Amino acid sequence: MDFLPQHINDYSENHTSPESELLAKLNRETHAKILQSRMLSGHLQGRVLAMFSHMMQAKSILEIGTYTGYSALCLAEGLVEGGKIITIDVNEELESFTKQFFNDSEYADKIDYRIGDAAEIIPNLDEVFDIVFIDADKMSYAKYYELVFDKVRKGGYIISDNVLWSGKVANIEEGKKIDKDTQNLLNFNKMCHDDPRTENILMPLRDGLMISRKL
pLDDT by residue for the chain (215 residues), tens only, comes to 667 788 998 999 999 999 999 999 999 999 999 988 888 999 999 999 999 999 999 999 999 999 999 999 999 999 999 999 999 999 999 999 999 999 999 999 999 999 999 999 999 999 999 999 999 999 999 999 999 999 999 999 999 999 999 999 998 877 788 999 999 999 999 999 999 999 999 999 999 999 999 99
Q: What is the predicted pLDDT for the residue at 35?
A: 85
CATH of 6-214, one of 3.20.20.140, 3.40.50.150, 3.40.50.300, 3.40.50.720: 3.40.50.150
Question: Exposure pattern of 199-213 as b/e (b: 16+ CB <10 Å)?
Answer: ebebeebbbbbbbbb
**Would you kindly state where each structural domain of the chain is located, as residue ranges?**
6-214
Q: Using CA atoms, how far apart are residues 116 and 198, in angstroms rounded to an integer?
A: 29
**What digits encode the pLDDT tens for the residues 40-57?**
999 999 999 999 999 999
Residue pair 62/85 in contact (Cβ under 8 Å)? The answer is yes
pTM value is: 0.95
Q: What is the predicted pLDDT for the residue at 204?
A: 92
**What digits encode the pLDDT tens for the residues 144-160?**
999 999 999 999 999 99
**What digits encode the pLDDT tens for the residues 164-181?**
999 999 988 777 889 999
Q: What is the predicted pLDDT for the residue at 175?
A: 73
Residue 86: strand, helix, or coil: strand
Look up residue 5 and give its amino acid. P
φ and ψ of 34, to 5 deg: -115, 140
CA angle at 147 for the pair 146 and 149, rounded to the nearest 5°: 60
Q: What is the predicted pLDDT for the residue at 21?
A: 97
